[in-house]
């Protein structure tokens, strides 16, 4: 050894020792894994933020990741941990996450300070999952530009023009209901209806899901609504382990589903381009956007775009993959959430005959003015039905939570707590919707909660079925309309009652990302005299 040099550790000797002693190697690897998964577990305590003790590998999400509880039940449980706090911390696997309880903080994240929380932070592997590049997942200028372009497609004027398509689907749906009297799984019936509606309004295709159990759209819908445990787990984990998700190139959308939707959209573009048929459906609007760069007649939310949004919109070009992705999210977001909401609504009406009778009377009174014809304006007249649907969405929000990513350091208003860039913030929709401080006796089904007077007296950010702020659900009007038409189709000629197979009490699915029943929605469907 050169004089004056310190003796260096014998790394080679240590390596050889590890090779000779597998128990030592296993112990070292176990220690490294343990340190990796727990080294962040002092994040919230070091900032004096309330937090439950996390567990290794799971953080505070063990019940969800092990499929022991639904996401809704997990969110409700977390929400109850610190009832006196405006916010608290949890760990998703090893990632610290902030959970909000205060509606004013929810308002800050969704609207007031939206520039800080503009992205959901959902990682996407575009090459493996081209259909994942849709409006819900997109970020930054691409999201802003596409949102600006698509918003006019969901204006009340555009939806009213395509209402005739919903009315046609309703006629067929009533025929199916008449032939299905007795003990019926109403979610299955409702899904056939919503698939037909989405197929007609989004793709311009008479899918025939109502009559054909084996239609391709119906088969793809079943694949999407019943994902395997692996896909479900990755959908839950990808925001907690985004690096691993990207590294492994995970594909969460079934390859067969991807091919199917890309082929359908390609065929429809070719067909529409070579004909002059106009259906005023979503596909017409997408093609118009692709060819002209904007939609005629409507400005975003009835007002001209500001310069920044207008420039972002100009920079967006819709190719076939982008069109397929938007059509795909229209399908996935529209058929399952609406069919599940229809089913939860009928379930609650079966439990309360008085509310059901009042809802039916509201429907029939409005239809009487149009001589029985279902019209867009007639649906808007059904005020009690509107309250019933909103109460259903309050008690059973399809999405149990909202998630945002902090894009720059952010000090929580009224505190000294500063969130670092990249921090995820969760808005517990299910918890807020079941908080007795906002909704007394939250487990009761009370449509009157959504009377004009009661809505004015309540903080607007305590009802988040469609989100709030610039990233709220772009298809809210269409979703509500489709849901109401489905319920009208049932109630105008039938009543629903609880049967032996009805799930009482309701048990939520632990595999679904949306709030839905574990055992279906079995009800007796009885023709009116």
Give the Cα separation of 508 and 518 in Å (integer): 5
Per-residue pLDDT, 412: 97
Q: Which residues on neighbouring strands pair with residue 89, listed in sequence order?
A: 51, 98
* Paired tokens of 237: 């984990």
Alpha-carbon separation of residue 377 from 29, 77, 173, 182 (angstroms): 67, 41, 20, 32
Instruction: Please report the pLDDT score of residue 16 as a whole number.
Output: 64
Task: Give the largest Cα separation in the chain, rounded.
Answer: 106
Partners of residue 185 on adjacent β-strands: 522
Instruction: State the distance between the two ends of the chain, measured CA to CA, in whole angstroms.
Output: 103
Highest mean pLDDT pick, 73-82, 224-233, 261-270, 505-514: 73-82
The answer on pLDDT for 296 being more than 70 is no
Helix (H, G, I), strand (E, B) or coil at 19: helix
Q: What's 8's DSSP letter?
A: P
Q: Is the pLDDT of residue 303 over 50?
A: no
Cis peptide before 196 (omega within 30 of 0): no
Q: What's the confidence (pLDDT) of residue 134? A: 82
In the predicted structure, residue 504 carries a pLDDT above the cut 50: yes
pTM of the model: 0.88
pLDDT tens digits for range 81-126: 999 999 999 999 999 999 999 999 999 999 999 999 999 987 777 6
What average pLDDT is seen over the chain?
86
- The confidence score (pLDDT) of residue 234 equals 66
Residue 21 burial (CB count, 10 A): 12
- Structural Rg of the chain based on CA atoms: 26
Q: Higher-confidence residue: 44 or 204?
A: 44
Q: What are phi and psi of 185, to 5 degrees?
A: -85, 100
**CA angle, residues 344, 195, 137, in degrees to nearest 5:** 85
Banded model confidence at residue 263, pLDDT cuts 50, 70, 90: confident
What pLDDT is stored for residue 392 in this prediction?
Answer: 98
Contact 289, 295 (CB under 8 A): yes
Structural contact between residues 247 and 127, judged by C-beta atoms closer than 8 angstroms: no
Coil, strand or helix at 300? helix
Residue 220: both structure tokens together: 């793809």
- How far is Cα 459 from Cα 140, in angstroms, rounded to an integer? 29
Most confident of the following: 10-14, 183-187, 460-464: 460-464
Q: Is the CB of residue 506 less than 8 Å from the CB of residue 347?
A: yes
Encoded tokens for 254? 């079934």
* pLDDT tens column, 346-390: 999 999 999 999 999 999 999 999 999 999 999 999 999 999 999
Task: Tell me 450's DSSP state.
Answer: G
- Quick one: which H or E segment has residue 96? strand 95-100
Residue the block writes with tokens 């029943």: 517
- 53 has pLDDT over 90: yes
Helices 383-395 and 320-351: crossing angle in degrees, nearest 10, is: 100
**pLDDT of 202 strictly over 60:** yes
What SS3 state is found at 47? helix
Residue 136: pLDDT above 70? Answer: yes
* pLDDT over 80 (residue 68): yes
Q: Is the per-residue pLDDT at 304 higher than 50?
A: no
95-115 burial, b at 16+ Cβ within 10 Å, e below that, comes to bbbbbbbbbebbbbbbbebee
Judged against a pLDDT cut of 50, whether residue 130 lies above it is answered with yes
Tokens at 447, concatenated: 């449509």
In order, the DSSP letters of 483-520 are: HHHHHHHHHTTEEEEE-TTS-SS--B-SS-SS--BSS-
Residue 412 is given by DSSP the state P
Q: What DSSP letter does each residue of 168-221 carry, written as one string?
A: HHHHHHHHHHHTT-EEEEHHHHHHHHHHHHHIIIII-----TTT-TT-HHHHHH
Identify the residue with better confidence: 74 or 148. 74
Flag whether pLDDT at 52 surpasses 90. yes
Q: How far is CA 185 from CA 171, 225, 342, 412, in A?
A: 20, 16, 12, 46
- Looking at per-residue pLDDT, the higher value among 200 and 458 belongs to 458
Least confident of 313-327, 467-481, 511-525: 313-327
Of the candidates 382, 336, 341, the residue with the CA atom closest to the CA atom of residue 360 = 382
Arithmetic mean of pLDDT, 251-265: 82
pLDDT value at position 330? 84
What is the pLDDT at residue 501? 94
Q: How far apart are CA 259 and CA 267, in angstroms?
A: 12
- Segment 286-290 shows an average pLDDT of 80
pLDDT of residue 211: 56
pLDDT of residue 312: 54
């Amino acid at each position: 050894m050169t004089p004056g040099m310190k003796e260096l550790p014998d790394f080679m000797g240590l390596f050889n020792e590890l090779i000779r002693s597998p128990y030592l190697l296993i112990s070292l690897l176990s220690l490294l894994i343990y340190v990796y998964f727990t080294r962040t577990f002092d994040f919230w305590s070091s900032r004096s933020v309330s937090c439950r003790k996390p567990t290794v590998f799971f953080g505070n999400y063990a019940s969800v990741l092990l499929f022991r509880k639904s996401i809704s039940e997990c969110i409700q449980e977390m929400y109850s941990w610190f009832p006196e706090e405006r916010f608290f911390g949890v760990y998703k696997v090893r990632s610290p996450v902030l959970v909000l309880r205060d509606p004013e903080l929810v308002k800050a994240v969704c609207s007031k300070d939206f520039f800080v929380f503009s992205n959901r932070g959902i990682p996407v592997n575009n090459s493996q999952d081209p259909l994942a590049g849709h409006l819900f997942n997109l970020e930054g200028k691409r999201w802003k530009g596409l949102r600006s372009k698509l918003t006019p497609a969901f204006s009340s004027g555009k939806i009213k023009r395509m209402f005739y398509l919903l009315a046609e689907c309703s006629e067929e749906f009533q025929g199916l209901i008449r032939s299905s009297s007795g003990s019926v799984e109403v979610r299955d019936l409702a899904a056939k209806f919503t698939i037909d509606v989405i197929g007609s309004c989004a793709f311009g295709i008479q899918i025939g899901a109502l009559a054909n159990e084996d239609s391709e759209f119906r088969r793809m819908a079943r694949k999407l609504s019943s994902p395997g445990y692996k896909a479900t787990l990755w959908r839950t984990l990808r925001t907690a382990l985004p690096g691993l998700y990207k590294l492994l190139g995970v594909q969460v959308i079934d390859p067969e589903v991807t091919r199917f939707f890309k082929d359908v959209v390609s065929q429809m573009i070719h067909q529409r381009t070579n004909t002059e048929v106009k259906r005023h459906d979503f596909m017409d609007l997408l093609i118009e956007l692709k060819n002209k760069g904007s939609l005629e007649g409507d400005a975003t939310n009835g007002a001209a775009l500001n310069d920044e949004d207008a420039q972002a919109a100009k920079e967006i070009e819709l190719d076939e993959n982008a069109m397929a992705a938007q059509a795909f999210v229209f399908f996935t977001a529209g058929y399952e959430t609406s069919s599940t909401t229809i089913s939860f609504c009928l379930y609650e009406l079966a439990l309360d005959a008085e509310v059901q009778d009042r809802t039916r009377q509201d429907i029939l009174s409005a239809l009487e003015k149009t001589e029985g014809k279902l019209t867009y304006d007639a649906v808007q007249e059904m005020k009690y039905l509107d309250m019933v649907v909103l109460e259903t969405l309050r008690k059973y929000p399809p999405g149990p939570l909202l998630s945002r990513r902090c894009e720059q350091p952010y000090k929580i208003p009224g505190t000294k707590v500063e969130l670092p860039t990249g921090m995820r913030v969760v808005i517990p929709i299910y918890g807020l919707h079941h908080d007795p401080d906002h909704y007394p006796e939250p487990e009761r089904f009370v449509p009157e909660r959504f009377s004009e007077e009661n809505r004015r007296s309540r903080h607007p950010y305590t009802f988040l079925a469609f989100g709030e702020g610039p990233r709220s659900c772009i298809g809210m009007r269409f979703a509500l309309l489709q849901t109401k038409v489905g319920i009208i189709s049932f109630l105008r000629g039938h009543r629903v009652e609880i049967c032996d197979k009805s799930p009482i009490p309701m048990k939520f699915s632990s595999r679904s990302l949306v709030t839905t029943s574990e055992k279906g929605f079995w009800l007796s469907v009885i023709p009116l005299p």
